[in-house]
Amino acid sequence: MVQNGLSALDAVRGFQGLRALVVGDAMLDSYVDGVATRLCKEGPVPVLVKAAEHHAPGGAANVAVNLRALGAEVVFVGLLGRDRTGEELRAALRERQVDDRWLIEDSGCATIRKLRILADDQYVVRVDEGETRTCGELGRRRMLEAIEAAFPRCDLVVVPDYGYGVASEEVIDCLRRLRSGRRVALAVDAKDLRRFASAGATVVTPNYAEVCAAIGEATAGALPSADPARAERGGRRLLELIDAEFAAVTLAGDGVVLVDRAGRATHLPAHPVLHAGDVGAGDSFTAAMALALASGTEAVQAARIGIDAAGIAVTQRRTSAVRHQDLLRRVSLDVSAPTTPVKTLAAILDSERYAGKTIVFTNGVFDIVHAGHVQILQRAKQLGDILVVGVNSDASVRRLKGQARPINHERDRLALVAALDAVDHAVLFDEDTPASLIRALRPHIHVKGGDYAEAALPEAEAVHAVGGQVVILPLVGSLSTTSVIERIVALASAGDRRGAL
């Protein structure tokens, strides 16, 4: 999946180091777990014996946590009361490496909390408390000052507006003014999108109900089923009413319909999930799509990346964040993502070389990736700036290892290697040795792991021909793919013998 020269994998890699400004309603999500033992005598409700209680950042705070977990630096501007809930939210943010110094405390506010009580993992009731719409003039002025101070060093802005007063008209006007001089990506996820009609957002990410409310089609009864065709019509109508480049209408299990200002629409299906949770997946979608847009990818691919993040989030229990490594792994396993052509990769590396970066190359089969592989790749990356890994094709592996190998398809082996933190580029090669690939990519350093002598390496001549050097890294421990396979076979055989007895 490569569009505008940037693959999904490269886009997600680009999340790290981006600086995100989040302006929105900070909340604390609290969960009380227990066991229902009997019915209460005072009324037909269960008596809950409390087993555990935990807290997680919610609302805009969860968006901030997702952005941080995906690799971005985060400035989070929101409102808190001077209360215990605010202290617990600050602690939960710091635990997740989100700086809480930009949060504004105001004595007129009470920190928002959503308390969910569960019996035997089933929801019993949700209790909402807190109010920040009562913030005083001083608190609002301090919030605007924080936005003004943070904006110049940010690469994107995300506004998760739940209607509790942080995204005031003054804040929207402030962001519009700041972006008129520096056009960074702006993602808006708002309960009432009509308030952002002139915000000039890059993307708005409403669900179908929010679209209906914005275009005046909400009814007191149940909404029409949120099928892609209705979402497409609603998205077009929405963009006629508000100033935004794209509307990404989320449809839960039916995916996302992305509509642009020209009326073009794309339906992007969701990943099927057997048991899906529904707390925070929208936050993960908005965070990942906003980062993808800021990293330079086009909107359809950014929406796909957002869906990948949401697909991970719904498999997790309760309010949680999607980690950068997990999203890297998900997008790298997209079967439609081809390997980067060698000529394209060579051109990319020429640019890195011109910028003064040291290019390190290594290669292998990587049939069953184990700790020894990871250690070698980490040590190889430490020798330079850019690590390129050549992965033997299936045909090459069969010639080298026999017809029983590889165990895993070349596409899966390539995707797994590409998803490792130390690896910047992974590329397939079909020859028995990487000599031709080395001549094309011209690395400064060629790394080999094991007990090789440089003179015995068939590709050493190619390394020297391009002006590179060979570095032999001794293996740590005795792990090898062959030994792992032999152990699996031995264990399976032992199990068969026990079954026969």
List residues with catalytic annotation. Answer: 283
Reading the block at residue 195, the tokens are: 């308030």
Q: Which of 130, 67, 126, 76 minimizes the C-alpha distance to 283?
A: 67
Distances, alpha carbon 425 to alpha carbons 43, 295, 308, 316, 348, in Å? 63, 17, 21, 30, 10
Conformational region of residue 181, where left means phi above 0, alpha means psi within -120 to 50, and beta covers everything else? alpha
Distances, alpha carbon 41 to alpha carbons 36, 46, 47, 117, 119, in Å? 14, 9, 9, 19, 17
Q: Which of 475, 454, 447, 450 minimizes the C-alpha distance to 363?
A: 447
Residues in Cβ contact with 271 at an 8 Å cutoff, skipping those fewer than 6 apart: 307, 308, 311
Q: With beta carbons less than 8 A apart as the criterion, state whether 388 and 349 touch.
A: yes
Could you give the CA distance from residue 213 to residue 203 in angstroms, rounded to a whole number?
A: 18
H/E element, 347: helix 342-354
Residue 291: burial class (beta carbons within 10 Å; 0-12, 13-18, 19+): buried
* Cβ atoms within 10 Å of 398's Cβ, excluding its own: 14
Scan for tokens 């909400």, then name that residue.
Answer: 218
First to last CA, the chain: 52
Q: With beta carbons less than 8 A apart as the criterion, state whether 28 and 89 touch.
A: yes
Distances, alpha carbon 270 to alpha carbons 2, 256, 284, 310, in Å? 19, 7, 14, 9
Could you give the CA distance from residue 320 to residue 69 in angstroms, rounded to a whole number?
A: 10
If DSSP states are collapsed to H, E and C, what string results for 403-433? CCCCCCCHHHHHHHHHCCCCCCEEEEECCCC
Q: Which of 306, 336, 422 minimizes the C-alpha distance to 374?
A: 422
Reading the block at residue 64, the tokens are: 């901030």
